[in-house]
Structure 1
Amino acid sequence: MALDDITKKAQEFLKDNKVKDALKSEQAEDISDKLLGSVADAAKKVTGGKFDEQIDGARDAADKAVGNE
């Protein structure tokens, strides 16, 4: 399967209202907060704190896209 096909299928999947509702749930918020926090902490550790502001910005942007807060 080509990358274009995978991308197209992923876009179709994300357009489904059930998926949108699931991504905006309280459970998704809890899981995403933990996951994004862990990933941000790991990235900060790897970069030695040089990019903390950018990492926090990326984490915050991702957090707005998933969950209900």
Structure 2
Amino acid sequence: MGILETLKTKLAPAKDKVSDLAHQHEDKIEKFGHGLDKAARKVDERTKGKYSDKIESGTGKAKDALGRLTHKDEGTGTDESTGQKDQGTMPPAS
């Protein structure tokens, strides 16, 4: 077993706990997402649009991460351990 697998195994309970808490406080996290948008607009204003693309990219990544935390029970189609698309099974033909 490599170092990465060992770390994943040891950190799995903490990850589950964080995900559970995030799922319980989804409404507060959603408000935080709105705060991210507000902060991004303010920073963009102050920098006079010089870094708009970087601000937009960073805000999007942060909101995606928040979304992944709060929606752990919903199938994302990605195996988190490998980052690969989940192949799943085909539904039966009717």
CA 1:65/1:28 → structure 2, altered by over 3 Å: closer, same or farther? farther
Work out which of the two has the higher radius of gyration on C-alpha atoms and give 1 or 2. 2
For residue 61 of structure 1, report the CA deviation from its aligned partner. Answer: 0.4
Structure 2 gap ranges (5+): 1-10, 72-94
Identity in percent = 23
Higher relative contact order (CA 8 A, sep 6+): 1
| Greater displacement, 42-51 / 30-39 | 30-39
Give the letter for the 1:46 counterpart: R
TM-score by length of 2: 0.48
For residue 19 of structure 1, report the CA deviation from its aligned partner. Answer: 2.3
Q: Corresponding residue for 1:17? A: 16
Paired residues, what number?
56
More helix by share: 1
| RMSD, aligned CA | 2.3
More strand by share: 2
Rounded Cα–Cα distance in structure 2 between residues aligned with 1:23 and 1:39: 21
TM-score by length of 1: 0.62
Structure 1 gap ranges (5+): 1-11
Rounded Cα–Cα distance in structure 1 between residues aligned with 2:50 and 2:38: 17
Give the letter for the 1:63 counterpart: K
